[in-house]
Amino acid sequence: MTAPLLSIHDLRTWFYTESGVARAVDGVSFDIGAGETVGIVGESGCGKSVTALSILRLIQPPGRIETGSRIEFEGRDIVTLGDEEIRDIRGNRISMIFQEPMSALNPVFMVGDQVAEVARVHAGMSKREAWGRAVEMLALTGIPDAETRARQYPHQLSGGMRQRVLIAMALMMKPALVIADEPTTALDVTIQAQILDLLVDLQRKIGTSILMITHDLGVIAETTSRVIVMYAGEVVEHADVDELFAKPNHPYTEGLMHSMPHIGHDQERLNVIPGTVPSPTDWPHGCRFRDRCPYSWELCEREHPPLYEVGGAHVSRCHLAIEPERRNHPHPPLVVQKGVAAA
Amino acid sequence: MPGQTQDFALANPARPRESPLALSVRRLLRGRSSRVALIVLGIIVLVGLLAPFIAPYDPSAQPDIVALKDLAPSLAHPFGTDPYSRDVLSRVIYGARLSLLIGVLATIVSLTLGVAYGAIAGYAGGWVDAVMMRLLDAFLSIPRLLLLIGVLVAWPRLSIGALVLFLGFTGWFGLSRIVRGQVLALKHAEFVMAARALGASRRRILLRHLLPNLVSPIVVAATLGVAHVIVLEAGLSYLGIGVPQPQASWGNIIQDGADQVATLWWMSLFPGLFMVLTVMTLNILGEALRDAYERRS
Amino acid sequence: MNDAQPLLSVRNLRKEFPIRKGVFARQVGAVKAVNDVSFDVARGETLGVVGESGCGKTTTGRTILRLIEPTSGEVRFEGRDVRSMGTSELRALRREMQIIFQDPVSSLNPRMTVGAIIREGLTIHELAEGAAAVARVRQLLEEVGLRAEYSNRYPHEFSGGQRQRIGIARALSVEPKFIVCDEPVSALDVSVQAQVINLLGDLQREHDLTYMFIAHDLSVVEHIADRVAVMYLGKVVELATSDDLYREPLMPYTQALLSAVPVADPHARKERILLQGDVPSPANPPSGCVFHPRCHHPAKDAACAKIVPPLEEKAPGHFAACIKQPPTKVSWEEQKQAGGVHPPERYLPLAAVHA
């Protein structure tokens, strides 16, 4: 077993706001191997984006990566690196693709220059060399007429094209890891298909690992080999993609899968997870999902579940691992009983 | 907008309700400078309101023209007396009342004009808006102070009421631009479209949907506007074309001591001090309100 | 299609937005947001309208309600001509046709309490006042799954899903017959989407509502719609029942669209039809068939660039705008005259079909 490329241990990123301490990421651990595509799936407020930003130390005050968190990459701990060292990693060894391409691009510079800048900063290339490589990269991402397009400004390009520019920028230095934070959410479905295809293709060609962050289970199924499900700042389930879809263990994962309409499955009513995500300044004690869970019982309130092993590399943060018969006796979740079920 | 809304279980029935107004006020009061400013301003306003009860002497009284002329501050007259043998402290107290009154009234006039003009231009749009804005540009190009000086010199011996009106008529230009901008943006807000979909009349939309959402910039403009008028009035009175004598306003008091500024130093210091305090606190509050408002949106 | 008169009937609807340039704001062109759209909606059904950005689906919904004035075309509600209505007639019509918006944040007035927001319709149409209005508001809140105590609160105190429910309550307050649902769940989390979708379904059954459901998410539309219209660059390019559309998409654009949807199943077939290039701008749509530059139909040829395909019935109740999918009224002679070299042939790639 080769050592993982990136290893996150007990990451805690907390935000010190006027309404309290928001524990956006509260003890997350996982590894990414070389050449792998790992997905993090979860809804808004689960902490997946903050996790991504933490990896690159892009968290601004009032947020802070708490001491005790470790992010090991290429033999160093990212959390304790100096400013210059972390700048050396960003865009070079680990790069990021954001959801909104328009806000990630500078509107007053040509896109070619922006892509070229990456090489000039990290590899010290000359202007001409960097430009040449930038055009190459843009062509590689499938932008037709790359030489001409490189001279255009962001507002002259469509959403899909801008995203390709971002991908080109991210891959310029052939990084070991690319973090893609909802890269296709803002795009139309046919463009999304193109971009996902491109990412998979480029990954094969260049050999980078990808950390794919999304709320879309379909994207997860199509692009990743391993999946992490996040809820309320924690990892609640972690398995290979086939295993996760075939045998979802955590009630949240189950609920999520059943609440999505699937083309071809005729359902009168969609299954619903009642209630809402609790507030990050106020995570409930015990299991954070218990109020919305159809199987919870007293243990779930008393004890915060650890990640139980439920089969091979499959782990799940749910006490059902020790009392599996309870799965046969679902009950209306507590939020329904209290009457605050509407999200 | 694609992507999910980033909020959590906010509607807990146990929590007390909070109007956007209450939220802004709460945020405003969080800053220490805002709290101090509010207290200081409150004191000054109280002084003005209670003038008849707390002023030691009648501000126009001249009980002893000879003995009480040009006296430096003492226990009997903490702010001294002026060349007309009147107690300066009483005059400053009554001055607070008058200056604040003029400030508030003139600002009310400006607000009414500015909001009306801006709202109509913004809501009407099209050529109406274009014409109104070009007119506004013309108005804005005339410096307010010069305009006032010009008008007041041409019409000396004006009543305070007329002064208030002129101050008001010259102070609405900036606000109307802001209001127009806001209305333009709000016009296309989805909740306005929803109101139209319900069958709301234009009047209803203007009054129930647009105006309430203009409160914040209006309050900010009002606060800063009062401060500005106080300074203007003081300046005009100092020039002799503002509040007519023998009424006491801060500007007048300074004017009275103008030819002997160095010797009658208390004639400039005390009214000046009060003015500076008032204007500063109003500005602090106005800026804080603007911050509170901007952060919410 | 039954013979009963459709609830809503749209014919040749067009909406153009002028493009102005220069100091004098001369009109130099027009964005044809809605470009000759026609369809019916039967009472009690849900018509789904899907398409990507710039296809005109949102503009169509708003134009039907005359929230945006149409440039030309006909809209009939229960047989009455909507476009020619005067102010008071239109206001009365507003009771019968309502709308729910996409963005839960901007669709509610932040300065009004929830109760006031829901009560507004009752006030405008004089349906209830005082205690009766308060009672009705409570009833509506409960109907959409919110607690009656919430009526004193302000929108910012609620989550996205709850705000959407408030918007739904507002639309229901005037007892409409027809509701345009403009991407009502797109801005919500997946699990919340399910709640709101179920709610919309329940309400439809309770109140015998008719929906025009606009969305870009094909799975959601398939779940909730009886019939689906696919739009591209301002035109309806396919119209069929939900089942027929997903099982046998005839218009090549629909085929590409369906194959592009990521399937939540790692073992699902991964080959898909990838469209080349980007969606062209509606200010400058391609000639002839607006989709032809990106079309993958094997019979595509020069005729496609010249002839605007009519939306015609290819199978009972299934309409598509493609001259290369038989049957077509555009004769082979006509096509040859326009430069056609490939005769029409049925093309139904597997990648597009969701069995």
- For residue range B115-162, list pLDDT tens digits in order: 999 988 998 888 889 899 999 999 888 888 888 888 888 877 778 888
- Beta strand C227-232 with C46-50 is parallel
Among all residues of chain A, which has the CA nearest to that of C54? A188
**Cβ contact A279–B6 (<8 Å):** no
Mean pLDDT, chain C, whole residue set: 89
Distance, in angstroms, between A267 CA and closest chain C CA?
Answer: 7
Quick check: B191 contacting C, CB < 8 Å? yes
Contact between B53 and B225 (Cβ < 8 Å)? no
Distance, in angstroms, between B296 CA and closest chain A CA?
Answer: 14
Nearest to C152 among B17, B191, B197 (CB): B17
* B243 Cβ contact partners less than 8 Å away, ≥ 6 residues apart: B98, B102, B160, B163, B233, B236, B237, B249, B251, B252
pLDDT for residue A199 is more than 50: yes
% chain A with pLDDT above 70: 98
Structure tokens at A243: 């295993």
C-chain residues near B208 (CB < 8 A): 112, 120
Quickly list H helices, chain C. 57-64, 87-94, 114-124, 130-143, 160-172, 190-207, 218-224, 242-247, 252-260, 302-306, 332-337
Q: Residue B22: its pLDDT value, please?
A: 74
Q: How far apart are CA C307 and CA C340, in angstroms?
A: 10
Among all residues of chain C, which has the CA nearest to that of B188? C106
Distance, in angstroms, between B7 CA and closest chain C CA?
Answer: 6
Write B253-256 long-range contacts (CB < 8 A, 24+): B253/B82, B253/B88, B253/B91, B253/B92, B253/B95, B256/B82, B256/B83, B256/B84
Strand partners, C232: C235
End-to-end CA distance of chain A: 44
Classify residue B35 by its DSSP letter. Answer: H
A-chain residues near C193 (CB < 8 A): 259
- Distance of CA A156 to CAs A148, A310, B86, B227, C20, Å? 12, 51, 73, 47, 18
Quick check: B215 contacting C, CB < 8 Å? yes
Instruction: Name the pTM for this structure.
Output: 0.83
Contact between C58 and C51 (Cβ < 8 Å)? no
10 Å CB burial of residue C355 (0-12, 13-18, 19+) is exposed
Contact between B251 and B230 (Cβ < 8 Å)? no
Q: How far apart are CA B91 and CA B247, in angstroms?
A: 9
Residue type, A278: P
C344 cis-preceded (ω within 30 degrees of 0): no
Which among A329, A306, A293, A280 is positioned nearest to A13, based on CA atoms? Answer: A280
End-to-end CA distance of chain C: 24
Q: How far apart are CA A184 and CA A200, in angstroms?
A: 13
Quick check: B188 contacting C, CB < 8 Å? no
DSSP A4-15: PSEEEEEEEEEE
Q: Residue A310: count other Cβ atoms within 10 Å of its Cβ.
A: 18
Which among A67, A318, A26, A36 is positioned nearest to A204, based on CA atoms? Answer: A36
Q: How far apart are CA A303 and CA A299, in angstroms?
A: 6
- Quote helix, strand, coil % in chain B, to nearest 5: 70, 0, 30
**Cβ contact C189–A264 (<8 Å):** no
**Cβ contact B5–C98 (<8 Å):** no
pLDDT for residue C231 is more than 80: yes
Nearest to A45 among B6, B11, B13 (CB): B6
C-chain residues near B10 (CB < 8 A): 156-159
- C23 compared with A164, residue with greater pLDDT: A164
- State mean pLDDT over C212-225: 90
Quick check: A189 contacting C, CB < 8 Å? yes
**Cβ contact B2–A185 (<8 Å):** yes
Quick check: A44 contacting C, CB < 8 Å? yes
**Cβ contact C161–A343 (<8 Å):** yes
Secondary structure of residue B8 in the 3-state scheme: coil
* A222 Cβ contact partners less than 8 Å away, ≥ 6 residues apart: A196, C262, C263, C266, C270
Quick check: A277 contacting B, CB < 8 Å? yes
Nearest to A221 among C190, C264, C274 (CB): C264
**Cβ contact A261–C216 (<8 Å):** no
Structure tokens at A290: 């218990």
Burial B66-80 (b: 16+ CB within 10 A, else e): eebebbebeeebebb
Quick check: A195 contacting C, CB < 8 Å? no
Quickly list H helices, A100-182. 101-104, 111-123, 127-140, 146-149, 159-171
Distance, in angstroms, between A11 CA and closest chain B CA?
Answer: 21
- State mean pLDDT over A97-123: 89
**Cβ contact C112–B208 (<8 Å):** yes
- C350 compared with C33, residue with greater pLDDT: C33
Structure tokens at B157: 């011996």
**Cβ contact B197–C150 (<8 Å):** no
- State mean pLDDT over A16-45: 91
**Cβ contact C159–B3 (<8 Å):** no
**Cβ contact A188–C216 (<8 Å):** yes
Q: How far apart are CA C56 and CA C235, in angstroms?
A: 8
Q: Residue C276: its pLDDT value, please?
A: 76
Sign of the CA dihedral with A102 first, then A103, A106, and A107 last: positive
- Locus of tokens 């299991």: A287
Contact between B61 and B87 (Cβ < 8 Å)? yes
% chain C with pLDDT above 70: 97
**Cβ contact C124–B198 (<8 Å):** yes
Distance, in angstroms, between A6 CA and closest chain B CA?
Answer: 28
Query: What's the pLDDT tens digit per position in B147-202?
Result: 888 888 887 777 888 889 888 988 898 889 989 998 988 888 899 999 999 999 98
**Cβ contact B11–C108 (<8 Å):** no
Query: What's the pLDDT tens digit per position in C111-142?
Result: 899 999 999 999 999 999 899 999 999 999 99
% chain A with pLDDT above 90: 53
- Locus of tokens 């209290």: A338
Structure tokens at C129: 């006042």
**Cβ contact C188–B20 (<8 Å):** no
Q: How far apart are CA C293 and CA C291, in angstroms?
A: 6
Nearest to A43 among C145, C191, C218 (CB): C191
Q: How far apart are CA C336 and CA C332, in angstroms?
A: 6
Contact between A244 and A237 (Cβ < 8 Å)? yes
Q: Residue B9: its pLDDT value, please?
A: 37
Query: What's the pLDDT tens digit per position in A204-219?
Result: 888 899 999 998 898 9
Taking only residues 140 to 169 of chain A, the set having a beta carbon closer than 8 angstroms to any beta carbon of chain C reads: 144, 158-161
Distance, in angstroms, between B20 CA and closest chain A CA?
Answer: 17
Distance, in angstroms, between C160 CA and closest chain B CA?
Answer: 6
C-chain residues near A260 (CB < 8 A): 190, 194, 219, 264
Nearest to B9 among A43, A182, A279 (CB): A279
- Distance of CA A272 to CAs A42, A239, A276, Å? 15, 23, 11
* Distance of alpha carbon A239 from the chain centroid: 15
What length does chain A have?
A: 343
Q: How far apart are CA A221 and CA C117, in angstroms?
A: 42
Q: Residue A98: its pLDDT value, please?
A: 87
Query: What's the pLDDT tens digit per position in A278-326?
Result: 888 889 999 999 999 999 999 999 999 999 999 889 999 999 999 999 9
Dihedral pair phi/psi, residue A336, rounded to 5°:
-70, -40
**Cβ contact C162–B198 (<8 Å):** no
Quick check: A216 contacting C, CB < 8 Å? yes
Q: How far apart are CA A242 and CA C163, in angstroms?
A: 36
Q: How far apart are CA B294 and CA B217, in angstroms?
A: 9
Q: Residue C1: its pLDDT value, please?
A: 44
- Distance of CA A209 to CAs A33, A48, B32, Å? 7, 17, 50
Query: What's the pLDDT tens digit per position in A131-178?
Result: 999 999 999 888 888 888 899 998 888 888 889 999 999 999 999 999
**Gyration radius from chain B CA atoms:** 23
**Cβ contact B6–A44 (<8 Å):** yes
**Cβ contact B9–A280 (<8 Å):** no
Contact between B106 and B167 (Cβ < 8 Å)? yes
Quick check: A102 contacting B, CB < 8 Å? no
Q: Residue C47: its pLDDT value, please?
A: 96
Write B48-57 long-range contacts (CB < 8 A, 24+): B48/B93, B48/B96, B48/B97, B48/B99, B48/B100, B48/B101, B49/B97, B51/B93, B51/B94, B51/B96, B51/B97, B54/B93, B55/B89, B55/B90, B55/B93, B55/B94, B56/B87, B56/B89, B56/B90, B57/B86, B57/B87, B57/B89, B57/B90
- State mean pLDDT over A40-66: 90
Helix (H) or strand (E) run with residue C213 in it: strand C210-215
Give the chains touching B; criterion: ≥3 Cβ pairs < 8 Å.
A, C
Task: Print pLDDT tens along chain B (297 aa).
Answer: 223 333 333 444 444 566 777 777 777 777 788 888 989 999 999 888 888 888 888 888 788 777 778 888 888 888 888 888 888 888 888 888 888 999 999 999 999 999 999 988 998 888 889 899 999 999 888 888 888 888 888 877 778 888 898 889 888 988 899 899 989 888 888 999 999 999 999 889 988 998 888 888 888 889 999 999 999 888 888 888 888 877 888 888 888 888 888 888 888 888 889 999 999 999 988 888 887 776 654
- Distance of CA A223 to CAs A39, A204, C149, C262, Å? 8, 12, 46, 10
Q: How far apart are CA C301 and CA C324, in angstroms?
A: 9
Q: How far apart are CA A180 and CA A97, in angstroms?
A: 5
Contact between A35 and A4 (Cβ < 8 Å)? no
Interface predicted TM-score of the whole assembly (ipTM), two decimals: 0.87
**Cβ contact B7–C188 (<8 Å):** no
Among all residues of chain B, which has the CA nearest to that of A214? B3
* A338 Cβ contact partners less than 8 Å away, ≥ 6 residues apart: none
Nearest to C157 among B10, B189, B196 (CB): B10
**Cβ contact C191–A259 (<8 Å):** yes
End-to-end CA distance of chain B: 17
Contact between A274 and A343 (Cβ < 8 Å)? yes
Nearest to B4 among A18, A44, A280 (CB): A44
Q: How far apart are CA B59 and CA B65, in angstroms?
A: 14
Classify residue B58 by its DSSP letter. Answer: -
C-chain residues near A250 (CB < 8 A): none
Weakest-pLDDT range from A66-75, C270-279, C339-348: C270-279
Distance, in angstroms, between C104 CA and closest chain B CA?
Answer: 8
Query: What's the pLDDT tens digit per position in C175-209?
Result: 999 999 999 998 888 888 888 999 999 999 999 99
Give the chains touching A; criterion: ≥3 Cβ pairs < 8 Å.
B, C
Q: How far apart are CA A154 and CA A143, in angstroms?
A: 13
Sign of the CA dihedral with A44 first, then A46, A48, and A54 last: positive
Nearest to A278 among B9, B13, B30 (CB): B9
Distance, in angstroms, between C207 CA and closest chain B CA?
Answer: 18
Q: Residue C270: its pLDDT value, please?
A: 65
Which among C183, C191, C248 is positioned nearest to C218, based on CA atoms? Answer: C183
Which among C157, C85, C153 is positioned nearest to C118, based on CA atoms? Answer: C153
